[in-house]
């Protein structure tokens, strides 16, 4: 980590190719590379980070410029700079040598929004515009320090943690936490995400449920459900209940052939969550065949709370009467 003013005083022009552990000692060409960056702020100087090319094509767009510049080995980046990779490119941005860095995956674009202060107390904010990144903070942050990531759909605040981010072309954003805790927020709501869990949000949409997931595929399967085929004897309809129990309120009926997506399953199995009349309901089945490409249905406790009945769209004001069916 260097302040922009310190970069201008370092004379060694060969150090730009030195390893990450020595990069802060000298970066003589850095003053040329940093022309156009925002001016140093009194008492809170803007800092610079090291960009390393891991493989493939990596480019930098300097703040207040239009041209993308290819980076071969290393470069110094600062506030306002954008970094992007192609289908083969991977890069790493080291903000502090003792364990605050971001890995940038292929087909990704990221911008440094804010980076100022010093090694003990600082403000760091990056924006993931598209693609996937892995954020690592391997030391405890000073109480006055902040590290946040913005995406088109939500903002993420972390303290001493490791988490991955994915942003799709639509702006839909997702986050998985592997260590520590991360707070996900949009203008309307805030959710705490613990290790082993993830969250997702559409651009300008609500935050999803926080669900257990170790991969983005598992996160999508938990939230979107998986394709499945259900059958019954003689095409008898299945009872749809408000909770996964034969004692739960009956909210309607559905033909097995009309179910092509399952949204979750109880830990004991055989009870499946489905979308039903504007909300969710539960059906019992021993014949469900789930798409083999499914990364895993979302697991619910066997005693999960009943679904919100106010979401159901009923065609009349009467309560459904239980039919003689084969499915709970």
State the CB neighbour count (10 A cutoff) for residue 323. 11
Q: How far apart (Å, rounded) are the C-alpha atoms in residues 212 and 301?
A: 13
Residue-range definition of the domain harbouring residue 22: 2-223
Q: Which comes out higher in pLDDT, residue 66 or 321?
A: 66
Neighbours of 69 (CB within 10 A): 12
242 vs 10, more confident: 242
- Residue where a domain terminates, one of 161, 190, 223: 223
Q: What percent of the chain has pLDDT over 90?
A: 72
pLDDT computed for residue 1 by the predictor: 52
Read out DSSP for 28-91? TTHHHHTTTSPPPPTTS-BEEEEEEEEES-EEEE-TT---EEEESSEEEE-TT-EEEE-TT-EE
Question: Is 17 within a domain?
Answer: yes
Closest CA to 33 of 92, 95, 1, 76: 76
Confidence of residue 235 (pLDDT cuts 50, 70, 90): confident
**18 has pLDDT over 70:** no
Residue-level pLDDT at 229: 95
The pLDDT of residue 294 is 94
Is the same domain home to 166 and 58?
A: yes
What is the side-by-side strand order in the sheet with 279-284?
A: 250-254, 238-241, 279-284, 271-276, 264-266, 299-300
Residue 253 has pLDDT above 80, yes or no: yes
User: Tens digit of pLDDT for each residue in 156-182?
Assistant: 999 878 999 999 999 999 999 999 999
| Structural domain contains residue 84 | yes
User: Poorest-confidence range of 11-20, 124-133, 293-302?
Assistant: 11-20
Q: Which residues of 202-219 are buried (b: 16+ CB within 10 A; e: fewer)?
A: beeeebbebbebbebebb
Residues 122 and 88 grouped into a single domain: yes
The pLDDT of residue 138: 85
DSSP 194-209: -TTEEEEE-TTS-B--
Note the pLDDT of residue 314.
58
Q: Over pLDDT 70: what percentage of the chain? A: 82
CATH number of domain containing 146 = 2.60.120.1440
Same-domain pairing of 164 and 213: yes
Asked if residue 35 and residue 151 are part of one domain, the reply reads yes
Per-residue confidence (pLDDT) for residue 35, from 0 to 100: 35
End position of a domain, from candidates 165, 200, 223: 223
Please determine, for residue 32, whether its predicted confidence score (pLDDT) is greater than 80: no
Would the pLDDT of 43 be above 80? no
- Domain identity same for 179 and 284: no
Q: Residue 320 falls within a domain, yes or no?
A: no
Same domain (yes/no): 235, 208: no
Are residues 188 and 255 part of one domain? no
| Position 196 in a domain | yes
Q: Is residue 326 in a domain?
A: no
Q: Quick check: 50 pLDDT over 60? A: yes
- Give yes or no: residues 61 and 178 share one domain: yes
pLDDT at 27 over 60: no
The pLDDT-based confidence of 23 (bands split at 50, 70, 90) is very low
pLDDT number for residue 15: 38
The C-alpha atoms of residue 284 and residue 28 are separated, in whole angstroms, by: 69
Contact present, 165 and 133 (Cβ < 8 Å): yes
Indicate which CATH number applies to the domain containing 289.
2.30.30.40
List pLDDT tens digits, range 1-14: 554 433 332 333 33
**pLDDT, position 327:** 58
Torsion of CA 207, 212, 214, 217, to 10 degrees: -60
266 and 177 in a single domain? The answer is no
Residue 138 lies in a domain: yes
Strand pairing report for 146-150 and 122-137: parallel
Residues 6+ apart with CB under 8 A from 98: 119, 138, 139
When pLDDT is cut at 50, 70 and 90, the band that residue 143 belongs to is confident
β-sheet bridge partners, residue 126: 112, 149
Q: Is residue 297 in a domain? A: yes
Does residue 306 sit within a domain?
A: yes
Statement: residue 39 has pLDDT above 80: no
Out of 44-48, 159-163, 218-222, which region has the weakest mean confidence (pLDDT)? 44-48
Q: Let me know whether 191 and 214 are in one domain.
A: yes
Tell me how far apart the alpha carbons of residues 31 and 8 are, in angstroms, rounded to a whole number: 5
* Final residue belonging to a domain, choices 185, 201, 223: 223
Considering its fold, how many domains does the chain have in total?
2
Calculate mean pLDDT across residues 50-64.
97
Question: Is 119's pLDDT higher than 90?
Answer: no
Whether 193 and 245 share a structural domain: no
Mean pLDDT of the chain, nearest integer: 85
């Amino acid at each position: 980590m260097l302040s922009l003013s310190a970069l201008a005083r370092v004379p060694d022009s060969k150090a730009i190719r030195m390893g990450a552990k020595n990069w802060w000692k000298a970066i003589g060409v850095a003053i040329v590379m940093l022309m156009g960056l925002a001016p140093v702020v009194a008492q809170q100087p803007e800092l610079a980070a090291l960009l390393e090319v891991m493989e493939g094509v990596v480019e930098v767009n300097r703040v207040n410029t239009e041209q993308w510049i290819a980076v071969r080995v290393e470069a110094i980046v600062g506030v306002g700079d954008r970094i992007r990779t192609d289908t083969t490119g991977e890069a790493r941005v080291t903000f502090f040598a003792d364990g605050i860095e971001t890995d940038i995956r292929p087909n990704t674009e990221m911008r440094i929004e804010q980076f100022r202060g010093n090694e003990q107390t600082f403000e760091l904010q990056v924006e993931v515009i598209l693609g996937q990144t892995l954020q690592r903070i391997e030391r405890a942050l000073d109480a006055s320090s902040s590290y946040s990531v913005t995406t088109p759909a939500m903002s993420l605040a972390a303290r001493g943690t490791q988490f991955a981010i994915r942003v799709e072309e639509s702006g839909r954003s997702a986050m998985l936490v592997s260590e520590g805790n991360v707070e996900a927020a949009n203008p309307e709501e805030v959710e705490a995400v613990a290790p082993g869990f993830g969250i997702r949000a559409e651009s300008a949409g609500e935050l999803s449920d926080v669900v257990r997931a170790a991969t983005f595929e598992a996160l999508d399967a938990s939230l979107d459900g998986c394709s499945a085929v259900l059958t019954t004897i003689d095409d008898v309809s299945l009872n749809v209940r408000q909770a996964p129990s034969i004692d739960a309120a009956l909210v309607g009926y559905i033909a097995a052939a009309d179910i092509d997506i399952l949204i979750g399953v109880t830990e004991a199995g055989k009870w499946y969550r489905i979308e039903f009349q504007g909300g969710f309901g539960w059906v019992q089945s021993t014949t469900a065949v789930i798409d083999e490409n499914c990364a895993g249905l979302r697991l619910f406790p066997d005693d999960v709370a009943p679904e919100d009945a106010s979401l159901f769209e009923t065609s009349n004001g009467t309560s459904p009467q239980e039919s003689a069916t084969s499915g709970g």
